[in-house]
Structure 1
Amino acid sequence: MLNDKDVWKRFKTLNVLQLKNCIFIKRFPKSFFEMATLLELDLEGCSNLEMLPNTIKHLKSLKKLNLIDCESLRILPMSIKSLNSLENLNMKGCYSLISLPNELGNLTSLTTLDISYCLSLTSLPNELGNLTSLTTLDISYCSSLTLLPNELGNLTSLTALYVNDCSSLTSLPNDLGNLTSLITLDLSDCKRLTSLPNELGNLKALTTLDLSDCKRLTSLPNELDNLTSLTTLDISDCSSLTLLPNKLGILTSLTTLNMRRCRSLISLPNEFGNLTSLTILDISYCSSSTSLPNELGNLISLTTLNISYYPSLILLPNDIGNFTTLTTLNISYCSSLTLLPNELGNLTSLTILDTTNFSSLISLVNKLDNLAFLTTLCITNWSSITSLSNELGNLTSLTTLYITNCSSLTSLPNELGNLTSLTTLYISNCSNLTLLPNELGNLTSLTTLDISNCSSLISLPNELDNLTSLTALYIIDCSSLTSLPNELDNLTSLTSFYICDYSNLILLSNELSNFTSLTILDISYCSSFTLLPKKLGNLISLTTLDISYYSSLTSLPNKLSNLISFTIFNLSD
């Protein structure tokens, strides 16, 4: 059909032609493109197409040409210069394309040009600088490109330029400073860039600048302080940056600043305190920095602050209490912190607080009960803390609480029973806990409870039977437990029940048969079990039963045959 001239003559007045994913097409017949009225030609995914004929010049009305993933296309015909109406040219993923014709510069109506993922392209024609109507240029993932033509500086209508992941690019032309209409500039993952032209400071319309993962970049030009429209700056993973220009503090329109994993950065400029529009600040993994400037307390618009993985940070500034609009605070893995400022209690809008891995911290802050909107609290890897404040019980908005890997913790406050909004509670790897407060039975909204690896725990409170909303219960490797309260049988909403790795547990209650919603039951590694409850066959919703490593088990209940939807059964030596 493709070579049937008579067929295609009937379509001379076509406006749109889609030949997507026609992998049988290698070449087009010369007469094929005699469609003077065609506006859109879509050849996306024609992965065996090797070339376009010169007769493409007849498509005088063409506005959009889609060549995405034409993986075998090696060259474009010079006659493409005749497509004077073309506005959108997309060659993304033309992996075999080795060069672009100079004639491309004649397409002065082009507004969008995408040559991303053209992995074999080693250079761009200087004539691209003639495309003065261009508003979007994407040359990302052209990993063989080593230079950009200076003439790109002529594209004064450009609003978005994507050069990310051009991993062979070693420098940028100074003329990029002429792109005064540019709003978005993405230079991320240009791993060989060692410096930026000072002229970037002329891009006064720029709102987004992404320099993330420019690992060889050692400094930023002072002239960036001229980017007074900038709202988003990403310098994350710029692991060779040691200092930031003080004048960055002039960028008072900034709302998002990402400095994650700037591992060589030794300090933050005090002038950062001037960024009063900032709502999101991520300075995590800046492992060479030992302190934070007090001036950060001026950032009163912050809603999200991440200062996690600061192993050398020994103190948080008291002015952190000024962040009264903060909703998320991550200070996890700041392992040298021994105290938290009481001013944390002023963060009355806080909903998420992550304090994972505070191995040197010995107590929680006072005034924690002021955090009335806190919904998520992580108290994890606090290896030195022996008790938790009774004030925890005042955090009545909490829905998720992690108390894990607190190896010195010997008890939990009874006031935890006041957290009636709690839906998820993890109390795991607290190896010195011997008892749980009976008041946990008040947590009637709880749907997930994990009490794993609490090796000193000798019993569970009977009051757990009040947790009638519970759907998932994990009681794993609490090796001192010898029995489970019969009252657990009231938890009829359970769908997942894990009571594995109990060498001293010798019996399960027959009342397990009440768990008619249960789909997963894991009672593996309970090596002292000699019998399973006879009524196990009443668990009509059960799909997974794991009873592996039962060395003392001699027989199975007859009623297991009742489990009509039973799908997995694991019985191991």
Structure 2
Amino acid sequence: MDFSLSENQFLPNLRWLSWHNFPRRILKLSKFSLSNLVILDFTRSQLTHDWDGWRHIKRAKKLKVLNLSRCKRLSKTPDFSGLLTLERLILKDCFKLAEIDSSIGQLRHLVFLNLDHCFKLKNLPKELGTLPALTELLLDNTSIERLPDWWGMENMESRRVHISPSSKAGDSLNCVTSLLKLSLNWTDITHLPDSIGALTNLESLLLRNCYRMDRLPSSIKELRSLTELDLSYSKLIEVPNSMESLENLKAFKLYLSPTSAVLALPKLPESLTSLAIVSYVPIADTDLSNLINLKLLLFIMVPVISIQSELVQVPMPRWIGKLSKLEVLTLGHPNITNLSPEFGALPYLKTLQLSNCCALERISQIPLTVTKLHIIRCPLLTTLDISYLKNLSELYVFGSSIEDLSERALSEDLLEWKINKNYGDNLAETFRKMMCEPHGLDGLLPFFT
């Protein structure tokens, strides 16, 4: 590199500068021509908010992407006032970041903001509520405890939304109504503000592992554009009765902990194509027969009674046989004794996974379309006829007492099969992944350990 050049002379056509572990004290950024720079990536660099180089970066009047991931010395963001064209700001894994400069409110073109794993970040500046173009905000694994009450309000007076005394927002704050995705996984958030109902363009709301949040606001029913709602591993004690109004919802994940007060599921929208429910509490009179568009279903009832003789045995819910578009079924229910005849008529079922069905004694009919069959920990199941499953290519049977399956009885078309009456810890991870991945649960289900 010829650093004898005058300032702003080096690499005059530079559009993308990716320099990880940027040598903060060595390189003179003033030598670079930044007038055409569009993307700047300083991942894993030793930068601080008061670094002298920021004043040179403000010369990049065309800058759209700034990546400061893993800048571990960054405790506060720099002044953004000269970066008005910025569209994507990535601050992921800045472990010491605790403050976002108020100048972020000047980034009128900002579409994407990633603050994942900024562990020390507890508060969001009110200026975030003024960003008209923001569509994706990622806050996974931060220390955020609450969203500002002014979220979702173009004009708080006209919306008549209650503002808590602690709110410092002004009466004319614009909101992030353009937001399409809000991710708050693994945060300390305790509740969502009622004003979130005004985020009418929101398509994805992710609240996985929000252990301190026990309920959703009633205004959730206003999120008519919502297509994805993830409440897996969050300890809700109640589910809003207005869920059916989410008429565009496609994917819904729900986890009910032992402390949940939910006695029955509300009616869910028939727009759902993917549903995952894990419950540690008995759910009475569950009927999901209206979910005629469902393609993926995970329905797990975790046994709360350890003595098998105390289990109240029931047949398989008949409504499952009415889900005519179902392609993947993962079922775990300690009380089910058999699979209903209607189940055998499902025309598109490809994957059937039965786990911890402690009372299951027989399977009358498996759909002919099934290509993958996994039976895990069904101790009372002693017989299984798969001779008619001509499309079966994968068979796993573990922790079950099936006696009439032998290598000779298996189809020559089977590409992979394993049969073992024992189920050890070495297999737990394999089957967690196998059963959870189709449903986007990342293999974390405690039920499969």
**What is the TM-score of this pair, normalised by structure 2?**
0.77
Check whether the contact 1:212–1:238 (CA below 8 A) recurs between aligned residues: no
Say if 2:68 is the partner of 1:67: yes
| Residue 216 (structure 2) aligned to one of 193, 196, 220 | 196
Check whether the contact 2:91–2:114 (CA below 8 A) recurs between aligned residues: yes
Tell me the CA shift for residue 386 of structure 1. Answer: 5.3
Say if 2:392 is the partner of 1:374: yes
For residues 112-134 of structure 1, the C-alpha deviation after alignment (integer angstroms, 9 at most, x for no partner) is 11122111111001110110111
In structure 2, the partner of 1:480 is: none
Check whether the contact 1:253–1:275 (CA below 8 A) recurs between aligned residues: yes
Q: Which amino acid aligns with 1:126?
A: K
Structure 1 pair 377/242, CA: closer, same or farther in 2 (3 Å)? Answer: farther
In structure 1, the partner of 2:186 is: 165
For residues 417-453 of structure 1, the C-alpha deviation after alignment (integer angstroms, 9 at most, x for no partner) is xxxxxxxxxxxxxxxxxxxxxxxxxxxxxxxxxxxxx
SS in structure 1 at match of 2:339: coil
SS in structure 2 at match of 1:321: helix
In structure 2, the partner of 1:458 is: none
Tell me the CA shift for residue 276 of structure 1. Answer: 0.9
Please give the alpha-carbon distance, in whole angstroms, between the structure 1 residues aligned to 2:330 and 2:194: 35
Check whether the contact 1:130–1:155 (CA below 8 A) recurs between aligned residues: yes
Which shows bigger deviation, 188-197 or 80-89? Answer: 80-89
**Alignment identity in percent?**
28
Structure 1 pair 389/199, CA: closer, same or farther in 2 (3 Å)? Answer: same
Structure 1 pair 163/26, CA: closer, same or farther in 2 (3 Å)? Answer: farther
| Residue 421 (structure 2) aligned to one of 387, 397, 405 | 405
Say if 2:318 is the partner of 1:294: yes
Please give the alpha-carbon distance, in whole angstroms, between the structure 2 residues aligned to 1:116 and 1:231: 25
Q: Which amino acid aligns with 1:296?
A: I
In structure 2, the partner of 1:282 is: 298
Structure 1 pair 112/26, CA: closer, same or farther in 2 (3 Å)? Answer: farther
Structure 1 pair 376/22, CA: closer, same or farther in 2 (3 Å)? Answer: closer
Check whether the contact 1:177–1:200 (CA below 8 A) recurs between aligned residues: yes
In structure 2, the partner of 1:323 is: 346
In structure 2, the partner of 1:364 is: 384
Please give the alpha-carbon distance, in whole angstroms, between the structure 1 residues aligned to 2:115 and 2:6: 33
Structure 1 pair 396/36, CA: closer, same or farther in 2 (3 Å)? Answer: closer
Structure 1 pair 119/378, CA: closer, same or farther in 2 (3 Å)? Answer: closer
Which has the bigger relative contact order, CA under 8 A and spacing at least 6? 2
Structure 1 pair 33/403, CA: closer, same or farther in 2 (3 Å)? Answer: closer
Structure 1 pair 239/67, CA: closer, same or farther in 2 (3 Å)? Answer: farther
In structure 2, the partner of 1:269 is: 286
For residues 68-102 of structure 1, the C-alpha deviation after alignment (integer angstroms, 9 at most, x for no partner) is 11110122334x12322111111111211211122
SS in structure 2 at match of 1:331: strand
In structure 1, the partner of 2:272 is: 254
Tell me the CA shift for residue 23 of structure 1. Answer: 4.5
Please give the alpha-carbon distance, in whole angstroms, between the structure 2 residues aligned to 1:219 and 1:45: 42
Structure 1 pair 28/138, CA: closer, same or farther in 2 (3 Å)? Answer: farther
Say if 2:332 is the partner of 1:332: no
Structure 1 pair 358/51, CA: closer, same or farther in 2 (3 Å)? Answer: same
Structure 1 pair 362/139, CA: closer, same or farther in 2 (3 Å)? Answer: closer
Please give the alpha-carbon distance, in whole angstroms, between the structure 2 residues aligned to 1:400 and 1:161: 40
Please give the alpha-carbon distance, in whole angstroms, between the structure 1 residues aligned to 2:410 and 2:93: 56
Q: Compute the RMSD of aligned alpha carbons.
A: 3.1
| Residue 307 (structure 1) aligned to one of 324, 331, 340 | 331
Check whether the contact 1:220–1:245 (CA below 8 A) recurs between aligned residues: no
Structure 1 pair 219/322, CA: closer, same or farther in 2 (3 Å)? Answer: farther
Please give the alpha-carbon distance, in whole angstroms, between the structure 2 residues aligned to 1:312 and 1:401: 27
Please give the alpha-carbon distance, in whole angstroms, between the structure 2 residues aligned to 1:165 and 1:225: 26
Tell me the CA shift for residue 29 of structure 1. Answer: 6.9
Tell me the CA shift for residue 173 of structure 1. Answer: 1.5
Q: Which amino acid aligns with 1:71?
A: K
Please give the alpha-carbon distance, in whole angstroms, between the structure 2 residues aligned to 1:114 and 1:217: 26
Please give the alpha-carbon distance, in whole angstroms, between the structure 2 residues aligned to 1:348 and 1:161: 41
Tell me the CA shift for residue 287 of structure 1. Answer: 2.5
In structure 2, the partner of 1:540 is: none
Please give the alpha-carbon distance, in whole angstroms, between the structure 1 residues aligned to 2:17 and 2:205: 32
Please give the alpha-carbon distance, in whole angstroms, between the structure 2 residues aligned to 1:276 and 1:69: 45
Q: Which amino acid aligns with 1:211?
A: L
| Residue 174 (structure 1) aligned to one of 180, 183, 194 | 194
Q: Which amino acid aligns with 1:63?
A: K
Check whether the contact 1:244–1:268 (CA below 8 A) recurs between aligned residues: no
SS in structure 2 at match of 1:190: coil
In structure 2, the partner of 1:225 is: 244
Which shows bigger deviation, 146-155 or 232-241? Answer: 232-241
In structure 2, the partner of 1:89 is: 89
Please give the alpha-carbon distance, in whole angstroms, between the structure 2 residues aligned to 1:100 and 1:33: 27
Tell me the CA shift for residue 41 of structure 1. Answer: 2.3
In structure 2, the partner of 1:132 is: 132
Tell me the CA shift for residue 58 of structure 1. Answer: 4.0
In structure 2, the partner of 1:411 is: none
Check whether the contact 2:20–2:41 (CA below 8 A) recurs between aligned residues: no
Structure 1 pair 274/21, CA: closer, same or farther in 2 (3 Å)? Answer: same
Q: Which amino acid aligns with 2:61?
A: K
Check whether the contact 1:33–1:59 (CA below 8 A) recurs between aligned residues: no
Structure 1 pair 15/403, CA: closer, same or farther in 2 (3 Å)? Answer: closer
Check whether the contact 1:222–1:245 (CA below 8 A) recurs between aligned residues: no
For residues 357-396 of structure 1, the C-alpha deviation after alignment (integer angstroms, 9 at most, x for no partner) is 332234335xx4432222233444443x554599x84855
Tell me the CA shift for residue 295 of structure 1. Answer: 1.8
Please give the alpha-carbon distance, in whole angstroms, between the structure 1 residues aligned to 2:68 and 2:100: 14
Please give the alpha-carbon distance, in whole angstroms, between the structure 2 residues aligned to 1:389 and 1:92: 52
Check whether the contact 2:5–2:31 (CA below 8 A) recurs between aligned residues: no
Structure 1 pair 374/132, CA: closer, same or farther in 2 (3 Å)? Answer: same
Check whether the contact 1:279–1:303 (CA below 8 A) recurs between aligned residues: yes
Please give the alpha-carbon distance, in whole angstroms, between the structure 1 residues aligned to 2:263 and 2:28: 59
Please give the alpha-carbon distance, in whole angstroms, between the structure 1 residues aligned to 2:334 and 2:264: 24
Check whether the contact 1:61–1:85 (CA below 8 A) recurs between aligned residues: yes
In structure 1, the partner of 2:375 is: 355
Please give the alpha-carbon distance, in whole angstroms, between the structure 2 residues aligned to 1:238 and 1:75: 37
Q: Which amino acid aligns with 2:103?
A: E
For residues 451-510 of structure 1, the C-alpha deviation after alignment (integer angstroms, 9 at most, x for no partner) is xxxxxxxxxxxxxxxxxxxxxxxxxxxxxxxxxxxxxxxxxxxxxxxxxxxxxxxxxxxx
Count of aligned pairs: 390
Please give the alpha-carbon distance, in whole angstroms, between the structure 2 residues aligned to 1:364 and 1:121: 54
Unaligned runs of 5+ in 1: 407-573
Please give the alpha-carbon distance, in whole angstroms, between the structure 1 residues aligned to 2:50 and 2:258: 43
Say if 2:131 is the partner of 1:112: no
Once the two structures are superposed, the pairs formed by residues 447-486 of structure 1 within 5 Å of their partners are none
Check whether the contact 2:300–2:331 (CA below 8 A) recurs between aligned residues: yes
Please give the alpha-carbon distance, in whole angstroms, between the structure 2 residues aligned to 1:354 and 1:332: 8
Structure 1 pair 118/33, CA: closer, same or farther in 2 (3 Å)? Answer: farther
Please give the alpha-carbon distance, in whole angstroms, between the structure 1 residues aligned to 2:382 and 2:112: 58
Please give the alpha-carbon distance, in whole angstroms, between the structure 2 residues aligned to 1:255 and 1:186: 17
Tell me the CA shift for residue 397 of structure 1. Answer: 3.5
For residues 278-331 of structure 1, the C-alpha deviation after alignment (integer angstroms, 9 at most, x for no partner) is 1111113532596453222211111111113x3333343332223232111122
Check whether the contact 2:264–2:284 (CA below 8 A) recurs between aligned residues: no
SS in structure 1 at match of 2:342: helix
Check whether the contact 1:12–1:36 (CA below 8 A) recurs between aligned residues: no
